[in-house]
Structure formats: C-alpha cells, structure tokens
Amino acid sequence: MQECISAARSPSGKSSKADSPQSGQQLNRTILKASMSAPYLGKEEELNLVARWRDNDESEALHEITTAHMRLVISIAAKFRRYNLPIGDLVQEGCIGLLEAAARFDPQREVRFSTYATWWIRASIQDYILRNWSIVRGGTSSAQKSLFFNLRRLRAKLTAENKNLSKDELYNKISSKLGVSVQDVETMDFRFSSNDNSLSSPVVQDEDVTIQKIDMLADPMPLQDQLVERSIDGKRRSLWLQKALRVLNARELQIIQTRRLGEDHVTLESLGLTLGISKERVRQIEARAIQKLRTALLAHNEQTAYYF
C-alpha cells in the first residue's frame, strides 16, 4: 500500500511538481519498472487477497492488490496527459482511487477487481484535474464534469462530420448531447481557448512605479463620503419622522406602525379584527394618517419633500 503512493514521488519525498524534467523522467521510469515487474493476479488469488484485507485487515494483502494493479493506474493516468499536469501527480491520485476501490470492493459481485477499480481510479484522477487544471474553479456537478472532459472530443467529432457548422449550431448540438446549457458550453469553450492570468501580473512597470491588474479593477462599494452621507441622511430622516408621528392619535399611530413601520406588514383585514372595525375603515384611517404625516413633515421643513 505504501509503495502505491510513494512510487509517484521522488527519492527525496517531494512531489513531482517540484522536480526537474530530468528527475521527472527518472521518476516515470521508476514507476514503470515497479509496475511492470509486479505479478498478475488470478481471479481466485485476487478474491482471496481482497477477503483477507476486508475480513482480517491484513495490510500485506492490500499491498499485493495495489502493487499488482499499478500498471492499470499508470495506463489510465496516461490518458489524461493532455491536460498538462505532472504524470506523477496523476498516478498518485489514481493510487488514491485504487485504495478506495480496495476498501469498497465486494467479492460477492463476481467481477474482477480491475473492472471495479477502473471507475474509482478514473474518478479520482478527474477530480484532481478539475481542482488543479486552472486557478479558476469550475463546476463540480456531474453535468459540468462531463462537459469538461468531453467538450473537445465532441467539438472535433461534430466539426469533422460537418465543417460548415456555425459556432451557435455547434454549441447547441454539444448542449443537447451532454445535457447542459448553451451558456455553460460557451463558457467552458472560452476557458479552454484562453490561459489563466494572475491579477498580480504587472501592466505597467518601470523603475519608479509598478501597476498590477488588480489595481485597475473597479471597486463596486460606495465611496467613503457616500457612506457618510447616507448615514447622516438616514439619521436626519429618522428624526423628522419621529417628530411627525406626534401629530397622530393612538389608533392612527398603531395602524401606521403596524402597516408601514414594522418588519411584518399586517393585512387590513387582520388589523381590522384586532381593532374591532372593518378593513375599509382601517384603510381610511391609514390614508388620513399618511396625509397628516406628510403635512407635518412639510410644515417642519420643506426639504423633507425631497426625501418623502
């Protein structure tokens, strides 16, 4: 089990991402040599090892299973090399999927372990690619995952069948085949055709000043003077309203507070039941109270007409 993970690492224990091209080539040869020298397992031997691992928790049995299937991990990982991620990292992720398959495999299903493990190995590698292919995270749903791994193949196939397809027609066909929206297809195609750009990369750079892309992004938040202005205006309107409410009688004040100033606006009918009057009478009292408030506010300061 330990070799399944460590085989994809350099002798120093560091990930292959940090290795030089020469050490990476040596790393790949080491993995290939170890996997090719591992013996094949017969069906009965395979089932016996799985049973020993599941029933008795024998790490030696798990080690034999994973070592014998390392060539399967490498074969599947090699199919994803076009995504330009280190092959050593892909093999490591495939090993994680292999270990997961070993933990979940049920001998009573009467299928070969390699058949069962293939799905787990591929799924683990695909999840790793989705997390690391771009610094911009994409969708992780099954539909988005299918779009990511099948877009280029489908686009090439459809283009070969009909070279006169417009981009819109091509996107519509891919959308229909993969069960995703046309917008998702267009967005994913754009991601494939463009490179990631860091916001820290310089736009203008000289001896005196360096301007990065992040410095040129507009801040959607209001300016500080606008925030202060809103705060002062809010307090001023609140003070004017408190003074104006004094002109209302008790019932008018209750209706206005319940219908206009509370978080939960009560209906005319329910408020009428509470006050023992009809909902039409509540509406009349409310309209009269609003008119009294407007008159009081304008009498206090004509500038309040701007706010109310």
Has residue 9 got a pLDDT over 70?
no
| The predicted structure's pLDDT at residue 144 | 65
**Reported confidence tier of residue 197, pLDDT bands at 50, 70, 90:** low
pLDDT digits (tens, 9 = 90+) for 118-171: 999 988 998 888 777 765 555 556 666 677 777 777 777 888 878 777 878 778
Determine phi and psi for 203, rounding to 5 degrees. -100, -45
Residues near 262 by beta carbon (within 8 Å), at least 6 away in sequence: none
Q: Kindly report the average pLDDT of the chain as a whole number.
A: 76
Give the residue, 290 or 222, on which the prediction is more confident.
290
| The predicted structure's pLDDT at residue 121 | 92
List strand residue ranges (DSSP E) for 9-62, in order: none
DSSP three-state, residue 216: helix
| The predicted structure's pLDDT at residue 299 | 79
Q: What is the per-residue burial (b if ≥16 Cβ within 10 Å, else e) of 173-205? A: bbbeebebeeebbeebbebeeeeeeeeeeeeee
| The predicted structure's pLDDT at residue 284 | 92
**Reported confidence tier of residue 280, pLDDT bands at 50, 70, 90:** very high
